[in-house]
Amino acid sequence: MIDPKDILGRFPLEHFLETAERYFQTVSDPTPLMSKPFTYLNETPEMLINMGLLLSGLRLGKTMTVLDFGAGTCWLSRFLAQLHCQTISFDVSKTALDIGRRLFAEYPLIGGALYEPVFLHFDGRRIELADETVDRIVCFDAFHHVPNVDEVLAELGRVLKTGGIAGFSEPGPHHSQTPASQYEMANHRVLENDIRLGEIFASAQKAGFTGISCKMLCDKDLSLRDYEAIVSRDEKEPLKSEVWSNIVGTMSNKTVFFLHKGEYLPDSRSHVGLAHELEVEGKIFVVRRGEKLGLTFRLANTGTAAWLATNTQIFGIVRLASHIYDGTGKLISVDHSRHDLPRMVRPGESLSLSIEVPLPGPGSFRLAFDLVAEGVTWFENVGSKPVTVEVEMR
């Protein structure tokens, strides 16, 4: 059995960089690499599961800057860009990044790109970015090839913003012992390292990371009887040992984990943590024809996410907004009016806001006011209660 430490002891860093570049140079048809995770039917289910867990734990928000470490042909970068993130595809292989450029050019994003993708070559040591410039780091099946873990983690910790998260989908703690890994190390001198979270976190702490977490992985098929036992919360059902055995087996071969740099600070670029209390002065109003309805609100942030008042794009900007109904209760317009907030509102803060709302003409109307995180969600959809007023224009 080849030990990864033997590979590390025999070859310098430059060997692993050259091996990665040579691999992509020998690919005659890059289409299978560009079409991930939909290339091989036997691999797709696991890749999609791992990608879903990875995206969930990263707690992404639209317009976030994401460093795709070990991006290869940039297929994951393309999906992140489709989610309206600013992507930096980062790899040691210039050829792989060239294939990534082709992927973005030949298969443009649905609806168009918000940001031009960035492709950044890695020399194996230094990330050519300023300190604290990325919101998130993602690494899909590449970290176990890294020979200089301490040096790389130090760079990842440097460029990640405080409050940021680095997420990894990697093989398990016994990866080097698998037949495929042994073959790769024996024939191609590729590093196939084991992923041991204790060792990784010890190194990550030196790089400024403050926490580590991972996803529980389970791939057990259930009968209807098993399913009903679980959803009925039958504590006497002897299914626990079977589930536990499956978790042990699955997590011996796969690890989805996250390194945290400081406290996670959610904001309105995501729906997570959005909540408000709205109060309006008055409930019934009469206005003259041609005039606007003047209202004063108190807005309180009762959630855990900050409300952004500005952003590089419209996504995540929080505004007071209204739906309008006629006198019979029929919806006239979901997006009747929008009103900017004067500043960012952090959890626990409140502000007063005076607005003027136009009306469509004479008649009786009901206005329902809610907050909206633009391009993300109405607060009502995640549990907050709108306030309504009745108005008559004469």
- The full set of domains in the chain, from first to last, is 4-260 (3.40.50.150), 276-393 (2.60.40.10)
* Residue 228 binned pLDDT confidence (cut-offs 50, 70, 90): confident
- pLDDT for 138 equals 98
Mean pLDDT of 311-335: 96
The pLDDT of 188-212, averaged and rounded, is 96
Please compute, for residue 81, the number of CA atoms within 13 A of its CA located in the half-sphere on the CB side.
26
Whether the predicted pLDDT of 230 surpasses 90:
no
Give the confidence band of 248 by pLDDT, cuts at 50, 70, 90: very high
Query: Residue 230 is encoded by which pair of tokens?
Result: 């679980």
Q: Is the pLDDT of residue 266 over 90?
A: yes
Positive/negative CA dihedral, 162, 165, 171, 173: positive
Average pLDDT on 204-219 reads 97
pLDDT band of residue 297 (cuts 50, 70, 90) is very high
- H helix or E strand, kind and range, residue 152: helix 149-159
pLDDT at 1 over 80: yes
Neighbours of 308 (CB within 10 A): 21
Q: At 286, list the tokens.
A: 């009469």
Whether 234 has a pLDDT exceeding 80, the answer reads no
pLDDT at 31: 95
The answer, yes or no, to whether residue 211 has pLDDT greater than 90, is yes
- Taking the C-alpha atoms of residue 96 and residue 322, their distance in angstroms, rounded to an integer, is 48
Q: What pLDDT sits at residue 240?
A: 80
Average pLDDT for 50-56: 97
Between 240 and 320, the more confident residue is 320
Whether the pLDDT of residue 273 is over 90: the answer is yes
Distance of alpha carbon 360 from alpha carbon 292, whole angstroms: 10
Place of tokens 């060792």: 199
Q: Distance (Å, rounded) from C-alpha 367 to C-alpha 315?
A: 24
Q: Check residue 236 and give its pLDDT.
A: 67
Secondary structure (3-state) at 48: helix
Q: Residues with Cβ < 8 Å from 178, sequence gap 6 or more? A: 171, 192, 253
Question: Amino acid letter at 289?
Answer: R
Residue 237 pLDDT grade (very low, low, confident, very high; cuts 50, 70, 90): low
pLDDT(109) > 70: yes
pLDDT at 239: 81
pLDDT, tens digit, 9 for 90 and up, residues 153-174: 999 999 999 999 999 999 999 9
Residue 241 has pLDDT above 90, yes or no: no
How buried is 1 (Cβ within 10 angstroms: 0-12 exposed, 13-18 middle, 19+ buried)? exposed
* Average pLDDT score over the chain: 95
CA distances from 369 to 212, 277, 320, 340, 355 (A): 40, 11, 7, 13, 12
pLDDT band of 229, cuts 50, 70, 90: confident
> What is the predicted pLDDT for the residue at 205?
98
Instruction: Provide, rounded to the nearest whole percent, the portion of the chain with pLDDT above 70.
Output: 99
Phi, psi of 189 (to 5 degrees): 55, 35
pLDDT score at 257:
98
